[in-house]
Amino acid sequence: MNGAGSAARGIGRRKILAVGAAGVAVSAVPGVAAQPALAGERSTGGRPTYVYVTSFANRSANPDSNPDAVSIYVFRLDPATGSLTPLQQIPGSGPAWIEIDPSRRFLYACHSLSGTDTPRVGDVVAYAIDPRDGTLTLLNRVSLGDSGPAHLTVAPDGRHVVVANYYYGEYVVLPIGRDGRLGPVSGSLRNTGSGPHPRQDSSHPHAVTFDPSGRFLGTADLGIDKVEIFRLVGGGLQRVSEVSVPPGMGPRHIAFSADARTLYAIGELDGNIMAFAYDPATGSVGRALQTVPTAPADHTGGQSGAEIAVHPSGHFLYGSNRGSRTIAAYRINGSAGRLSSLGFATEGVNGPTNFAVDPTGRWLYVNSTQGNSVVQFAVDPRSGALEPTGNTTSVPAPGVIAFRTPN
């Protein structure tokens, strides 16, 4: 579930210190005071965009293993330059995934941690977001017991969290109260099966993502080589449709085209992206349309596809490969959603477990997990090509990035 070059030479790193007791306390970054509105924030009335970055540096369920470890780093984004200013550090073990709810008032995180009595233990944590400064306050935590969550998503109405439990072949649903707090598990759905790769010994759900309509939920099961569509009904899940990918692909994450006519899946085990026809009216995933690589043609090493995302404009798609240490860029062509290559970004990309395009579409940030840095690229609005900016932000083993835009 993780990923490898070096940060751009000659670029200084900010020093970020971990502080506080693991798991509960939160700490502001020393010396960082409330800041006036930046020039690029004038269009939003001076209301900033905040950025949340997780760290994979500590994934232990034992809080005494590293009491100074940081779980989530909070930054303020400068819209003019894309630079990140540190605001807060949340001590604890690193989440496998984070997501901000549609109201932008809460952040949810799931943990897949190394246990002592069991191989994995898991939980889901709710935080309140202070709209004045973007800082987080712990609301509550729900244990999933013997589990290993890899991914979660928040329903469009903000009333449920759906979690993909990688290690135990299960998707689970937790209700969200009016105050943002999580309730106990209200429903689950289990997969069975296996695949030809050694990592496919059983079902391994790795992604849950709502389609643009919000009516259906797309999922990827790395262990059984399936992309499935579910419907969230009350506090439970119902199967709607499915499609099998080539044996040994190991689908990790998925993304939908802006018009919801195409579903894209990236394979962790083969490094390829597949495009499928999708009917947003019925939730039916159909025939395969295309397969493209996320590694350059001259790459001879291993494959490790990781993240996939569609640009906010709907015109471009990006995928990361930890084996080739690249971010692959593609143009999305027409209503069929077929992809044409725009090339590969490599500078500072070292273990790109996750990346994200900021909500304006100007910047793409790569979590260079093995490079201990978040690396910024500029997105050409016409071509979709990625250009290194030379800006990096030091974060130990960054894992996942999320943006909170002004309301």
pLDDT digits (tens, 9 = 90+) for 112-139: 987 766 678 899 999 999 999 999 999 9
Would the pLDDT of 22 be above 80? no
327 is a domain residue? yes
87 is a domain residue? yes
Provide mean pLDDT across the span 58-78: 83
Would the pLDDT of 371 be above 90? yes
128 is a domain residue? yes
8 is a domain residue? no
Torsion of CA 17, 22, 24, 27, to 10 degrees: -10
17 is a domain residue? no
Would the pLDDT of 28 be above 80? no
- pTM value is 0.90
Encode pLDDT of 167-202 as tens digits: 989 999 999 999 999 999 999 999 999 999 999 999
Q: Comparing 11-20, 28-37, 232-241, 308-317, which segment has the lowest mean pLDDT?
A: 11-20
Handedness of CA 273, 279, 285, 399 (dihedral sign): positive
Provide mean pLDDT across the span 301-328: 97
> Closest Cα to residue 355, out of 329, 382, 374, 342?
374
Provide mean pLDDT across the span 201-228: 98
Structure tokens at 312: 């906010």
Q: Please state, for a pLDDT cut of 90, what percent of the chain lies above it.
A: 80
49 is a domain residue? yes
Q: Please tell me the total count of domains within the chain.
A: 1
Provide mean pLDDT across the span 13-20: 24
Encode pLDDT of 242-276 as tens digits: 999 999 999 999 999 999 999 999 999 999 999 99
Encode pLDDT of 318-369 as tens digits: 999 999 999 999 999 988 899 999 999 999 999 999 999 999 999 999 999 9
13 is a domain residue? no
Per the structure, the complete domain to which residue 83 belongs is given by 27-404
2 is a domain residue? no
* pLDDT band at 45; cut points 50, 70, 90: low
Handedness of CA 15, 89, 359, 59 (dihedral sign): positive
Mean model confidence pLDDT for the chain: 89
Query: Residue 220 is part of a domain; what is its CATH number?
Result: 2.130.10.10
